[in-house]
Chains A and B, each alone.
Chain A
Amino acid sequence: MRRLLAQLGRRGIEFFARLGRRLLLLLRILAGTGALFRDFPLLIRQLYGIGVRSVVIVSLSGFFVGMVLSLQGYTVLSQFGAKESLGILVAASLVRELGPVVTALLVAGRAGSALTAEIGLMKTTEQLAALEMMAVDPIRRVLVPRFFGGLLAMPLLAGFFSAFGILGGYLVGVDLLGVDAGAFWGQMQQGIDCHKDLCNGVLKSLVFGWVVIWIALFEGYDSLPTSEGVGYATTRTVVQSALTVLCLDFILTALLLGV
């Protein structure tokens, strides 16, 4: 019993110590925001690495998700004679929920894990220590551009996801299943609200981007400088990001809907 309590205590202390380190790292990143103006090219490079390099996988995923949504939606809506509402169903599902959430999960899997591995390896190969010894703060040189690059990339990628999703939904709904094109676009135009749907979607993807990149950077920076340590850290990034995004999605949706 005493051993169990001791183990619980140890785990608790570890958890809070880790949480503290995580918060301190975030504060140091935010404090280093000014470095972005000096090292602007670094931000562009990260925006390219995290954003542009994820465009294909995000767009393709969005396209297929849109097609599936359209198929499923058509099946249900046609039972109630409301197949003309397919456009709004596809668009609302993508813009409000699937765009931000699935994009965040994809970015965590593709860019988040790569960021953790990259920073973990920089630690293992003493590059971070070398920056320190050159009197350059590695957080400003390495983490700050990656954090803001990821933060900016996320809503843009979610936009790609939703746009290609709507395109996929259109192809299946209109060209394959015969829904009227005018009704598809018209209902979508009428039903989607700029503030309630688009802005809330962008807000969600910004929050998810913040969390996913923060987790990825912390796990890399805090990883043990061994190949095993970097491997564990990469796995932790993907698992924690996915769980946090899904949990946060529920909280944000409830808040935004005013429930």
Chain B
Amino acid sequence: MDSVVRIRGLRFARAGKPILTDIDLTVAPGSVSAILGPSGSGKTTLLQLISGQLRPQVGRVELMGQALTHLSRRRLYQLRTRMGMLFQNSALLTDLSVFENVAYPLRAHTDLPESMIRKLVLLKLQSVGLRGARDLMPNQLSGGMARRVALARAMALDPRLLLYDEPFTGQDPISLGILVRLIRQFNDASRLTSILVSHDVQETLRIADYVYLLDRGRIVARGTPEQLAETDDPWVRQFLQGLPDGPVGFHYPAPDLLADLLESA
């Protein structure tokens, strides 16, 4: 298979307002692909379309060789047992302990004996450095720990594809460093494919093999981090370097300041 995800001519709108327009995207097996863009650019919607949480209105989304448009719920669930997702809020089940959260996909989809489940869960927790936290409840974890537990849970069934929705948001520098290392490490060690949606430019560029830049629902640039760093496009430069002013103005469109001030109330 030459691609894990293949999107052609994708369009998506909500209440008549276009969210994504003419998206073409291919994710090669074994790569870490990043979708970068400012808030509201349609990144999370794109991830939801890739994961089958939303269905494309126009165009084609293929996941591991299967078109998602008319896929039945049962077939979609079968596909999902081969993929994992790390949510922005970690999304741990709050009524289950750390151990049970990681064991949950194993219990739901396999008939493994309890002793084997225990070993697998402990190994997954060990890989994120939280074997000692197995008995804690989600409300006893810091944000960084919760995200690592969620990562262990996403890896529980040894997926072929791992999706990350804003994995670095709200993390302290140490947790950030750990997550960056884990994402790359899991991808290479487990030979899986990773798709990362983020607006944290520096962290993402450190681990991505290929980057798509999204702005107002369109892919405005694509390439390796090195290729993007050399681009002359002013919008790409402004976004990647975090410049306060440029093609995206500092000011929200407004009438002339003097006219606005002098206008009688």
Q: How large is the interface on A (under 10, 10 to 19, 20 to 34, 35 or more residues)?
A: 10 to 19
The reply to whether B91 and A125 contact each other, CB–CB distance below 8 Å, is yes
**With known contacts A135-B78, A135-B80, A130–B87 Cβ distance under 8 A:** yes
Q: Are B94 and A127 in contact (CB under 8 A)?
A: yes
B contact residues, total (Cβ < 8 Å) = 22
Cβ-defined contact, A135 with B109, below 8 A: yes
A134 CB contacts on chain B under 8 angstroms:
80, 104-105, 108, 153
Instruction: State whether the Cβ of B32 lies closer than 8 Å to any Cβ in chain A.
Output: no
Q: Is A194 an interface residue (CB 8 A)?
A: no
Q: Of A127, A129, A135, which contacts B77 at CB under 8 A?
A: A135
Distance of A122 Cα from B94 Cα, bound (Å): 9
Among B77, B91, B92, B150: residue with most chain A CB under 10 A? B91
A221 to chain B, nearest CB (A): 15
Q: Per-residue CB proximity of A153-188 to B under 8 Å, as 1/0?
A: 000000000000000000000000000000000000
In the bound complex, how far is the Cα of B88 from the Cα of A233, in angstroms?
A: 24
B85 contacts A by Cβ under 8 Å: yes
A254 within 8 Å of B by Cβ? no
Please tell me if the beta carbons of B81 and A127 are within 8 angstroms of each other in the complex.
no
Residues in A with CB closer than 8 Å to B87 are 126, 129-130, 133
Residue of A nearest to B95 (CB): A45
* B51 touches A (CB below 8 Å): yes
Residue in A126, A135, A136, A137 whose CB lies within 8 Å of B91: A126
CB proximity of B73 to chain A, nearest CB, Å? 8
Q: Please tell me if A14 contacts chain B, counting CB pairs below 8 Å.
A: no
Q: Are A130 and B80 in contact (CB under 8 A)?
A: no
What residues of chain A have their CB less than 8 Å away from a CB belonging to chain B? 122, 125-127, 129-137
B178 at the interface (CB under 8 A from A): no
Main secondary structure of the interface of B (DSSP, over half): mixed
Name the A residues within 8 Å of B85 (CB-CB): 130, 133
For A135, list chain B residues within 8 Å (CB): 77-78, 80-81, 105, 108-109
Q: How far is the CB of A144 from chain B (nearest CB, A)?
A: 15
Q: Give Cα distance in the complex from A133 to B50, angstroms.
A: 12
Cβ-defined contact, B88 with A133, below 8 A: no
Which chain B residues lie closer than 8 Å to A127 at the CB level?
91-94
Chain B stretch 34-60: residues in CB contact (< 8 A) with chain A: 51, 53
Contacts of B150 in A (CB 8 A): 130
CB distance from A142 to the nearest CB of B (A): 9
Task: Bits for B63-96, please: 1 = Cβ < 8 Å to A, else 0.
Answer: 0000000000000011011011101110111100
> In the complex, what residues of A have CB within 8 A of residue B88's CB?
126
Bound-complex Cα distance A122 to B89 (A): 11
Evaluate contact between B53 and A132: CB separation under 8 angstroms: yes
Smallest beta-carbon distance A224→chain B, Å: 14
**B108, A130: Cβ atoms under 8 Å?**
no
A191 to chain B, nearest CB (A): 46
**Residues of A contacting B77 in the complex (Cβ-Cβ under 8 angstroms):** 135, 137
Q: Give Cα A133–Cα B86 distance, bound, in whole angstroms.
A: 10
Q: How far is the CA of A242 from the CA of B121 in the complex (A)?
A: 46
How far apart are B250's CB and chain A's nearest CB, in angstroms? 28
- Tell me whether A130 and B93 are in contact in the complex, defined as CB-CB below 8 angstroms, given that A135-B80, A135-B81 are known contacts: yes
Alpha-carbon separation in the docked complex, A133 to B51 (Å): 8
| Most B Cβ at <10 Å: residue of A122, A126, A129, A130 | A130
| A47 → B minimal CB distance (Å) | 15
Q: Give the Cβ gap from A149 to chain B, nearest Cβ, in Å.
A: 14
